Amino acid sequence: MKREIKKYLFDIKTSIESIFDYLGDERNFFEYQNNKLLRRGVEREIEIIGEAMNRVLKIDPSIQIENARQIVDARNWVIHGYDKVDDVVIWGIISNHLPKLQLEIKAYLNQE
């Protein structure tokens, strides 16, 4: 694996861990929804994840990460559609997609 790709995958891993750290063990949607600082922090980490994934895809479009293109699309939606960001959708990404992505990224990083 190219060194650049490994760096971007590490950035993704770090951002996922940061999101889970921000939310704590008892993830509460209503707490998230009512905390602007927390929402903005999570949204920023999603932006980083999407940008890093975009860079990975530019280097190696054949990389086998499920929903890689949707991850980039989520980044674009958060950045360019900032006024239309839906907390429920972000929460769905956190709850349903990040745990799987985290496993995929760890598997790639453990290959070497």
Average pLDDT over residues 12-41: 95
Q: Locate 50 and state its tokens.
A: 């999407």
Residue 112 pLDDT: 61
What average pLDDT does this structure show over 31-57?
Answer: 96
Are 87 and 32 spatial neighbours (Cβ–Cβ below 8 Å)? yes
Following DSSP, what letter does each residue of 54-110 receive, concatenated?
A: HHHHHH-TT---TTHHHHHHHHHHHHHTGGG--HHHHHHIIIIIHHHHHHHHHHHHT
86-96 pLDDT tens trace: 999 999 999 99
pLDDT in tens, 57-77: 999 999 999 999 999 999 999
Euclidean distance between CA atoms 91 and 58, whole angstroms: 28
